[in-house]
């Protein structure tokens, strides 16, 4: 069984907010993640709880969502386990890994790189869908039949694409300001060309809009987007995803909010709606 180091634990809304580290077999390096166990987890011998995996955005860590999103209050009420992980491997020794804020360290894009030198360590898709999932299901009172995924920005991209690429693994999906069509933006083009090579067909396999266009489906996602988001026009392109869903008759709830930007102030405003969206899909 994977050895977990408990880095810290904190009482929070009658539950436990924990931070953990382990040696990842898939990544080949130490990885960190965080878990919020609501008060209902005390009944673990008789109760398995729904679990939500949150994927954070560029430059974030396993701590960002748990500290900034104000999610634990509602998770405690609804009986939801929350999980967040680091956004990339760290200290890989790859030259240039930390040169750019939007690539490499803190910017794993939730995929398995196929190009050297990144392919040796940057395997976030397999880490999240296999290793971390197995750790959560074996070490925490999480229900394997009730798993949701959501995220912000790069993590919103990850939530959508992992749900699309792994049908049946997640029963609920949502996203805040996702990079919804990465092959059409500089963030995505920069990451995909280095992680996946120059083939556009390989890029399309990790683009939520292209995956919908190619016939993939997912549980009805809730997407919130601020209209004062400085990245909306050039990087995020939710309208591309919305149009693809309409063409494919894929249900989607896309809400646009005047005055809101890309920050965790935006996320904390609508986090209750997202947790209730997941709760309704995971307990119906």
Distances (CA, A) of 3 to 31, 58, 82: 12, 28, 20
Entry field: residues in the chain? 284
The residues near 50 (Cβ < 8 Å, ≥ 6 apart) are 79, 80, 81, 142, 143, 146, 147, 148, 278, 279, 282, 283
CA atoms within 13 A on the CB side of 197: 10
Name which of 214, 142, 226 is nearest 177 in CA terms.
226
Catalytic residue among 24, 88, 153, 172: 153
Tokens standing for residue 209: 């809009």
Give the SS3 label for residue 146: strand
Catalytic residue among 229, 274, 277, 279: 229
Name the helix (H) or strand (E) containing 32. Answer: strand 30-37
Tokens standing for residue 170: 């997640």
Name the helix (H) or strand (E) containing 37. Answer: strand 30-37
Provide the H-helix boundaries in 48-91: 64-68, 72-78
Q: Is 153 a catalytic residue?
A: yes
Contact call for residues 52 and 128 (beta carbons, < 8 A) = no
Catalytic residue among 262, 274, 278, 279: 262
Burial 140-149 (b: 16+ CB within 10 A, else e): bbbeeebbbb
Contact call for residues 66 and 84 (beta carbons, < 8 A) = yes
Q: φ, ψ for residue 209 (rounded to 5)?
A: -65, -45
Active site residues: 153, 229, 262
């Amino acid at each position: 069984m994977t050895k977990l180091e408990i880095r810290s634990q904190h009482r929070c809304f009658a539950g436990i907010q924990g931070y953990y580290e382990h040696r990842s077999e898939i990544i080949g390096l130490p990885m960190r993640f965080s878990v919020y166990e609501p008060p209902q987890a005390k009944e673990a011998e008789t109760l398995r709880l729904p679990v939500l995996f949150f994927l954070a955005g560029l430059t974030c860590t396993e701590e960002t969502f748990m500290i900034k999103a104000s999610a634990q209050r509602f998770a405690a009420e609804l009986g939801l386990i929350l999980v967040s992980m680091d956004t990339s491997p760290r200290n890989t020794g790859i030259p240039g890994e930390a040169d750019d804020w939007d690539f490499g360290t803190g910017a794993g894009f939730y995929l398995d790189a196929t190009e050297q030198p990144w392919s040796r360590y940057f395997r976030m898709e397999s880490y999240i869908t296999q290793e971390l999932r197995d750790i959560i299901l074996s070490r925490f009172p999480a229900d394997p039949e009730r798993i949701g995924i959501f995220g912000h920005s790069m993590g919103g991209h990850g939530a959508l694409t992992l749900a699309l690429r792994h049908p049946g693994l997640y029963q609920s999906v949502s996203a805040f300001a996702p990079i919804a069509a990465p092959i059409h933006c500089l963030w995505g083009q920069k990451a995909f060309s280095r992680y996946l090579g120059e083939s556009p067909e390989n890029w399309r396999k990790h683009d939520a809009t292209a995956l919908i266009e190619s016939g993939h489906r997912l549980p009805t996602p809730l997407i919130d987007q601020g209209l004062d988001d400085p990245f909306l026009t050039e990087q995020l392109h939710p309208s591309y995803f919305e149009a693809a869903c309409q063409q494919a008759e894929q249900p989607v709830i896309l809400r646009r909010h005047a005055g809101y930007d890309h920050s965790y102030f935006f996320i904390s405003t609508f986090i209750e709606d997202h947790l209730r969206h997941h709760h309704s899909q995971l307990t119906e």
